[in-house]
Amino acid sequence: MNHWYQFDATEVLRQLNTNPDTGLSAAEASRRLLESGPNELRELPPKKPWVMLWEQFTATTVLVLIVAAVVAAALGDYKDAAAIMAIVIFNGILGFIQEYRAGKEFAALKKMAVPKARVWRDREWQQVVASELVPGDIVQLEDGDQVPADARLLECTNLRTQESAFTGESESVEKSVAPIAGESLPLGDLHNMVFMGTIVTYGRGRAVVTETGMNTELGKIADSMQSVEQEQTPLQRRLDQLGRRLALMALALVGVIFAFGIVRGEDFEMMFITAVSLAVAIIPEGLPAVVTIALAIGSSRMLKRKALIRKLPAVETLGSVTTICSDKTGTLTENRMTVTILSLAGQRVDLRESFAEITSRLDGKKSIFRPGDGVTLPAPMAITLVGSSLCNNALIPNQKELHHQEFDEHRPDSEVPRAIGDPTEIALVVAADRLGLDKDELEDLFPRVAEAPFDSDRKRMTTIHRIERTDGDWKHRNSTAALLPPVSSLPDTSYIAFTKGSVDGLLSRCKQVWLDDKPDPLTETWDQQIRSQNDRLASSGTRVLGVAFRPVETLPEPGAEVTVEQDLIFVGLVGMLDPARPEAKAAVQICNQAGIRTVMITGDHPLMAKHIAEELDISHNGRYLTGLDLSRLSLAELEQQVEDVSIYARVSPQQKLSIVDALKHRGHIVSMTGDGVNDAPALSKADIGVAMGITGTDVAKEAADMVLLNDNFATIVAAVEEGRVIYDNIRKFIRYNLTGNTSGVVIMLLAPLLAMPLPLRPTQILWINLLADGLLALALSVEPAESDVMRRPPYPPNESVFSRGVGRDIIWVGLLMGIVFLLVGDYFLEARWENWQTMVFSTLAFSRMSLALAMRSERDSLFRQGLLSNQPMLVAVLVTFSLQMAVIYTPWLQGLFETQALTTQELWISLAISTVGFWVVEVQKQFLRWRRK
């Protein structure tokens, strides 16, 4: 370990050759990236293609076939041996292609899950992928961030990090900037360093990167570890169990068929190979591959719809969700904040109207104030804007350029180019700037010296600033100072604290209210008037924050900054419009049709939440519960109300956990959204934890199963739809595959009872198995959503794969097909048709193609769906049909598969009879549709 902790911050920057004023240049960062390599942990390389290929030929069922081929060759039956080996090779290549494709899909998804970092380069704050960080980069760290690299702290305010992964201590570690003396100190004592992979649990800071990638402390640990194999999903485990049961069933059936053959005097070698081939055909060895492909393709489709799946089991569970608990801001609303109202004691300023009036003294354009206009903002307005801009962590590069931009009343304040931070805070900074108050210049007049970061329980944030009084007046200091009231009108103290947060909580900490140019006692009348203004704004869908301040004589002790949040002077309300997303209402309606209930959980004002919820049709009874209400309810009492309440406001993260618990106790499968550090328990507890990709903290993303890349509620609904489609398609494959397998088993099992020779040769059985488990199965895995996929209730996640008619169809459709094909074969045998065996073989092969078409939907007719609605399926049918025709009519394949060229009549008869399964399934669907009506 380099002893960066021993040097002061200036020396660390000098050794790393970093200018703190400008940061690294883009060219220098690129050079260092080439030199040091990407800031990421090396992993064991992915499974090599030749290993994938080797594993295809060492699977149990394949080894059984290879043994059968060897036995056949040893007995002199080289033709059967060659045919079996050809099918083994073909099947192995197909399986390799499937696995290789799935691996590529998952690798692409994994690359999307990389964290980002805020870095100071070329004199501006930029957001870059953490893997692009280099030694010497200056990064910003805030509450909830995952530390992107090992770094030496340059400045910090109440910064604490969770380092239990390194030290084993569960308590967060308080950080500082001062150098530390000593040699080879343990990591737990390095309080001026932060380490890659740890979590910022409180406060904020800036640090310079000292080590990246495998040179970090986390990298050293990773170097000695092996990567863990991807665990199977619950569905895959259930299907594995199904496969084992089918294998036992196959052995029993094969034993019976083998015994029948021997008793009837069939050739031992032929019966042995036939029995082995039939056993392989019964077991749906393509099932794991189809499940993997379906999950990978589904995850990829979700990614295109801006939902990143972090944990594969989430794909399955999504389709069973019954309740979606969603945050409001940014998820159900656009999170495109625009400050529209300043409600001050005694007056209200509508910024949308007042810009024209205020700027009329300028050059007639809608622009911000400029120095030298002789305009001074009224004290209440100035203090509100100054407080909301300074008590704020938004990073807005090139603010000087922004200061001279023309005002566009249609552009939300949170849509400032390259702005980094919470959209609400960006909107506050930009609103102040448009009235001439530049944040950089404000920080020059009021440098921040301490802070109490925002806390979801307190619902407020406080910053403490030193008042620069170098000459008793500051009008000449900068253009921003020219707009402020004289310095003499400020409190006669060295420091001032600004607090912003929820109005209700803020008023409980205030003793005075600012009127015109001085504070007055906060009487009950003023308290009620401010609360009434807040309620009126909130009920119209406006998000409201309160701003207060307090003169501070001496700085509080580090870690005790919250003690200044008392005896505050309330100065004003800031109202921001955040309209409901247009697509959110349609998404909520889709949820209602799909039997999924939407619940809004927010920290905002209950009237504002109620307004948005009613606008989006989330709530119809007007009922809501606040955090205060929830604190008075036991879990049992909450359970009695969760079915009727769809709005929860002023809720703390811990109360989110109680809501999830209550819903789960009522039997719901719950999806929960969250973005903060304290949301992590609720995200973990929910069946599907959904983190915000834009505003979410790294902690929330780490705890979540899915990340919304656009923080949009409609994306959750789209992901639920994809989850249902994936599960439906896996069930369709099982239904299709086992129904077809049953028909083949019935033919081979009942043929001896009719005193028939073996209807199918071993290679023919394996060939049909290859057709069914290959292209046709893959085509079913990409079947589009059924017409009613989001118009039916969710299915329980633990239901049997044979439920809802799958087991029924496997038995009765498979049995009917097998009996019909066998009786037709027996008829042609009795009629002494020379090609009867080829006809049975062809009929069974063609039946798999028509059966796949019929089983594309559980409800809709193929004629309603259309052949082109799943083009891969159409291609798969045409290819497999062509391959089967080649097996019938190509001379060298005829020898391999023991077939004869069918006459035109025989071919048409085989094709016609092969559609029995298709028509049976279609008639059954029509009957079910009629019965539902």
Residue numbers annotated as active site: 327
Q: Which tokens go with 486?
A: 């004289």
Hey, is 76 helix, strand or coil?
A: coil
- Residue for token pair 């209210």: 513
Cα 579 to Cα 331, 426, 611: the distances in Å are: 11, 17, 11
**Whole-number Cα distances in Å, 46 to 42, 230, 791:** 11, 12, 41
The upper half-sphere exposure of residue 224, i.e. CA atoms within 13 Å in the direction of its Cβ, equals 4
CA count, 13 A, side-chain hemisphere, 693? 20
Phi, psi dihedral angles at 411 (to 5 degrees): -90, 120
d(CA 236, CA 217): 36
* Helix and strand numbers, DSSP H then E, in the chain: 36, 24
Query: CB of 586 within 8 A of CB of 595?
Result: no
Measure the CA–CA gap between 392 and 75, rounded to whole angstroms: 84
Residue type for 220, please?
Answer: K
Burial of 340: CB neighbours in 10 Å, binned 0-12, 13-18, 19+? buried
- What the block records as the tokens of 418 is 């390259």
Q: Residue 861 class from Cβ within 10 Å (0-12 exposed, 13-18 middle, 19+ buried)?
A: middle
> How far apart are alpha carbons 137 and 116 in whole angstroms?
14
- As a whole number of angstroms, the distance between CA 767 and CA 87 comes to 7
Cα gap 592→582, rounded to integer Å: 17
Give the 3-state DSSP-derived string for 584-646, with helices as H, strands as E and coil as C. HHHHHHHHHHCCCEEEEECCCCHHHHHHHHHHCCCCCCCCCEEHHHHHHCCHHHHHHHCCCCC
Strands 338-344, 347-350: parallel, antiparallel or unpaired by DSSP?
antiparallel
Q: Specify whether the CB–CB gap between 462 and 451 falls below 8 A.
A: yes
| Residues 855, 921 contacting (CB under 8 angstroms) | yes
Q: With contact defined as beta carbons under 8 Å apart, do 146 and 699 qualify?
A: yes
Q: Which two tokens stand for residue 197?
A: 């992979």
- DSSP-assigned beta bridge partners for residue 244: none
Sign of the C-alpha dihedral, residues 926, 930, 931, 932? positive
Secondary structure in 3-state letters for 42-62: CCCCCCCHHHHHHHHCCCHHH
- Count the neighbouring beta carbons within 10 Å of the beta carbon of residue 797: 18
CA distance 247 to 422: 56
Query: For residue 466, what are the CA distances in angstroms to 196, 449, 552?
Result: 33, 7, 9
Task: Give, for 545, the enclosing helix (H) or strand (E).
Answer: strand 542-552
| DSSP character at residue 244 | H
What is the helix (H) or strand (E) element at residue 342, kind and residue range?
A: strand 338-344
- Whole-angstrom Cα distance, residue 122 to residue 138? 11
Phi, psi angles (nearest 5°) of residue 266: -65, 160
Dihedral class, residue 898 (left if φ above 0, else alpha if ψ from -120 to 50, else beta): left
d(CA 369, CA 479): 9
* Dist CA 413 CA 879 (whole Å): 57
Give the 3-state secondary structure of residue 496.
strand
Q: Cβ distance 722 to 302 under 8 Å?
A: yes
